[in-house]
Amino acid sequence: MHLLLAILVGILYACGLYLMMRRSMLKLVIGLGLLGHAANLLIFTAGRVVPGAVPLIPEGMTTPSGPIADPVPQALILTAIVIGFGVQAFAILLVRRLAERTRTDDVRELTTTEQLETQTGTGKGAS
């Protein structure tokens, strides 16, 4: 199964990277999401995948009853999923806010802060 998963990891990375090189901000965020999935799957696969070996200790025992899947990559990925979500949520809100202010979704147009000022041109001092 590892060969298949390795190829899937590659496909997810390729799609994520390609999307992140787009000029549309939304595509960038979606690419970021794909890249996150790809990284999680990479760690998961590198830690070996085994079916039917949940790392749990059954009731009444003090050690697992048989061989278990490596819990360390699982712990790492759990952390990564949560942090990835935090980043993604922040990125999504940032994109939304930028789109509202600049009326564009093209990252090329976001070159300088000065331009942003003149484009929005509130002419109002610090609030």
User: Using CB under 8 A, which residues numbered 107 to 126 contact other proteins?
Assistant: 107-108, 111, 122, 124
Binding status of residue 3 toward other proteins by CB under 8 A? yes
Cα-Cα-Cα-Cα dihedral of 34, 85, 20, 30, to 10°?
A: 60
In the complex, minimum distance from the CB of residue 102 to other proteins, in angstroms, rounded to a whole number: 11
Binding mask 43-62 for other proteins (x = CB under 8 A): -xxx-xxxxxxxxxxxx-xx
User: Using CB under 8 A, which residues numbered 59 to 88 contact other proteins?
Assistant: 59, 61-64, 68-72, 74-75, 77-79, 81-88
Three-state secondary structure readout of 7-43 = HHHHHHHHHHHHHHCCCEHHHHHHHHHHHHHHHHHHH
Binding mask 8-37 for other proteins (x = CB under 8 A): xxxxxxxxxxxxxxxxxxxxxxx--xx--x
**Token representation of residue 2:** 């590892």
71 in Cβ contact with 54 (< 8 Å): no
